[in-house]
């Protein structure tokens, strides 16, 4: 008899434990997982941020080349063009929207080339290619390996390994490199001159290693 009561007690205890476990489970439709949130960098200049995952969605703002952002763990295919994928992202001012996955590189850091950098297939000097990166070119850093960096260039046109000493991760150098590269492509000489002057005279860029080079470019233009 004693064993019968013990068996009934154990069965009732198991039922109560199971009920408690069920009550702790999230209700249907509630967020039972923490959403992914990964750092990312924009690798396309003036990439569009829209209010939906479609090229037809309303435009919200533009994302600058090299701008840091966060992917919110959600991706969707464009309803009009299935081959185009969109990421839901958050900008540094908390603006949330959708941009193409092509324009964003996840788990990457922005950098800028400070001296001519040869591209290698792997972090080994014997794997040198005939491609290179020039000073002021933007790159996204994908991986580090001792004295090497695995990088991806603007618009995904160049990729490979470079020596670490050829790149700067300083915020002011990256900004000057991106802005100056665009300014130097300006065909109108007066506009080009003014855009370079705006960079040189910006106190936030005073310590950038590119400022002296930009002043030399201006002086050269004036001599002509």
The secondary structure of 29-53 as a DSSP string is TS--SPPP-EEEEE-STTEEEESSS
CA 165, 145, 87: angle at the middle one, nearest 5? 100
pLDDT of 219 reads 87
Torsion on CA atoms 103, 107, 110, 113, rounded to nearest 10: -100
Say whether domain 109-168 belongs to CATH 3.90.550.10.
no
CATH class for the domain made up of 38-106: mainly beta
* pTM given for the model: 0.80
Token pair 């703002």 in the structure block, residue: 61
Which ranges of the chain have pLDDT less than 50? 2-10, 13-34
């Amino acid at each position: 008899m004693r064993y019968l009561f013990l068996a009934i007690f154990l069965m009732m205890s198991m039922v109560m434990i199971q009920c408690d476990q069920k009550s702790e489970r999230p209700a249907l439709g509630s967020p039972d997982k923490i959403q992914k949130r990964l750092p990312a960098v924009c690798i396309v200049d003036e990439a569009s941020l829209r209010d939906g995952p479609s090229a037809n969605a309303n435009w919200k703002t533009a994302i600058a080349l090299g701008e840091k952002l966060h992917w919110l763990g959600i991706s969707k295919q464009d309803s009009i063009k299935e081959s185009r994928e969109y990421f839901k992202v958050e900008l540094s001012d908390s603006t949330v929207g959708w941009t193409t996955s092509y324009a964003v590189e996840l788990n990457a850091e922005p950098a800028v080339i400070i001296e001519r950098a040869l591209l290698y297939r792997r972090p080994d000097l014997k794997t040198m290619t005939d491609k290179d990166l020039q000073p002021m070119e933007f790159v996204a850093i994908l991986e580090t390996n001792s004295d090497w960096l695995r990088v991806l260039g603007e618009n995904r046109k160049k990729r490979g390994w470079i020596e670490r000493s050829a790149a700067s991760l300083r915020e002011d150098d990256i900004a000057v490199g991106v802005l100056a590269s665009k300014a130097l492509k300006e065909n109108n000489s007066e506009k080009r001159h003014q855009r370079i002057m705006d960079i040189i005279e910006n106190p936030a860029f005073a310590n950038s290693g590119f400022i002296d080079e930009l002043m030399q470019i201006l002086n050269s233009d004036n001599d002509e």
